[in-house]
Amino acid sequence: MIKIQKLSKFYGKRQVLNDIDLSFEKGKVYGIVGDNGSGKTTLFRCIAGLEKYNGKITSDLKVLKNHIGLLLTEPYFFDKITAREYLQLMCNARNVQLEYLDTQNIFDLPLKQYASTYSTGMKKKLALTAILLQKNECFILDEPFNGVDIQSNMIISELIKKLKAADKTIVISSHIFSTLAETCDEIHVLKNGQFVRKVLKEEFSSLEAEMKNFTIGNRIDQLNIY
């Protein structure tokens, strides 16, 4: 379990997260939704140990950051490192033996190519493959479906289900509600740095309708394009 208590984050005088209280259990998939700038990525970076913060994050894992696979929205890769070398480097960081890479390359990526030359979608698939090969206990996926082709999105959805069945902890942010509805056990709504609502699976459809109505409203009619 990961337990977050009274977590706040400031960048200078600007408060990005405000008194967050939340828990994540093993064998469950959690969706985090919110507008751009609501604090989702900052929260993920705090959990992964990449940001300093006020408050407390505890876990039954000895050193939490050593068991988290964080997929960033825009993964970064060093110049002049091939995809194969990157995967080897990431596995070395977790002391994981990389033995069957050719069969584990489920996205059919060109492993001899420099990772920095990959397209946006290919970079995301490479970074996801790396954290999977690391055999982490917790996976934090920031917009895993964005910029990725339809076939790969189907694979990612099935991977999330497999991770859940393997008793892993999975936290996902996405602007594509259908993917969250398919994979998540519960969804938490983040607004202005605070969680304002928790929604269980049986309420997903009503949440989607509310979000669509709030977001769209009469904006399209205002265009007067008919």
Cite the DSSP H helix spans in 134-203: 150-165, 177-183
- What is the number of structural domains in the chain? 1
Q: Which 8-state DSSP code applies to residue 8?
A: E
**pTM for this predicted structure:** 0.90
CB-based contact 82:72 (threshold 8 Å): no
**Token digits for 225?**
């394009």
Q: pLDDT tens digits, the chain, 226 residues: what are they?
A: 899 999 999 999 999 999 999 999 999 999 999 888 889 999 999 999 999 999 999 999 989 999 999 999 999 998 899 999 999 999 999 999 988 898 999 999 999 999 999 999 999 999 999 999 999 999 999 999 998 999 999 999 999 999 999 999 999 998 888 888 889 999 999 999 999 989 998 888 888 777 766 566 666 667 666 6
Q: What angle do CA 212, 36, 14 make, to 5 degrees?
A: 135
Q: Which residues, in sequence order, are bridge partners of residue 139?
A: 69, 170
CB-based contact 40:32 (threshold 8 Å): yes
| Structural domain for 192, as ranges | 2-223
Give the domain CATH number at 42.
3.40.50.300
First to last CA, the chain: 53
**Token digits for 87?**
């995967």
Nearest 10 degrees: Cα torsion 130, 132, 138, 140 = 60
Amino acid present at 219: R
Q: Which residues, in sequence order, are bridge partners of residue 2?
A: 24, 59
